[in-house]
Chains A and B, each alone.
Chain A
Amino acid sequence: DVQMFEFGGALVKPGGSLRLSCSASGLTLNDAWMSWVRQAPGKGLEWICRTRSKIDGGTTDFAAPVKGRFTISRDDSKNTLYLQMSGLKVEDTGVYYCTQFDFWGRGTLVTVSS
């Protein structure tokens, strides 16, 4: 069975930075197209970014609200995916999931507040 684990969520002040991590068991992350999806409190799902598999070039795409502020990367030796977030805004608050859509972790909570 595939299991995803996200961690690194925290309380951050507006303008701050944070790095989220995602590890997986049963799945080699560099073989998969991986996305980060977030969910603001009481709101719907919002796709924010994706990295293609290594064999497909590993290129990335970002949704408009996070483009230029967030980056996505992998550490293949650790089978870990990262989401580096900077210039955080109050509206970035939410639960962040890493997923290739078949499988989802429990998410990690990011709270941006002064």
Chain B
Amino acid sequence: SYQLTQPPSVSVSPGQTARITCSGDALPIQFAYWYQQKPGQAPLLLIYKDTERPSGVPERFSGSSSGTIHTLIISGVQAGDEADYYCQSADSSSTYVVFGGGTKLTVL
């Protein structure tokens, strides 16, 4: 079955830039979406269609794509950004929705 691969963890110091990658064979032809989830809370959509940001999401959050690797970029990381981050996309036939395994962001 189709899989999206994320690093299990990323650590950055406050004020630095965090980059969380998501790799998958179908990503050149499928959009990626990114979610933030804090403990005990529902996921929050951060980025849709690779690079678009919903209203209310800070500009510090951005997305980029390059072939089979998409990246969530968090600029000027703050302590409150500590959370789990998930990418989501679809298989090449657009039949199945798939989530990456999630990346735990630690702010040092």
Binding site for B on A (CB under 8 A): 35, 37, 44-47, 50, 61, 63-64, 97, 99, 101-102, 104-107
Chain A contacts for B33, CB-based, 8 A:
101
Binding site for A on B (CB under 8 A): 1, 33, 35, 37, 42-45, 48, 54, 84, 86, 88, 95-102
The B interface, classified by DSSP as helix, strand, loop or mixed, is strand
Contact of B42 among A44, A46, A47, A105 (CB under 8 A): A105
Q: Which residue of B lies closest to A106 (CB)?
A: B42
Taking the closest CB of chain A, its distance from the CB of B22, in whole angstroms, is 13
* Cβ-defined contact, A46 with B99, below 8 A: yes
* Cβ-defined contact, A61 with B95, below 8 A: yes
* Cβ-defined contact, B97 with A47, below 8 A: yes
Chain B contacts for A44, CB-based, 8 A:
84, 86, 99-102
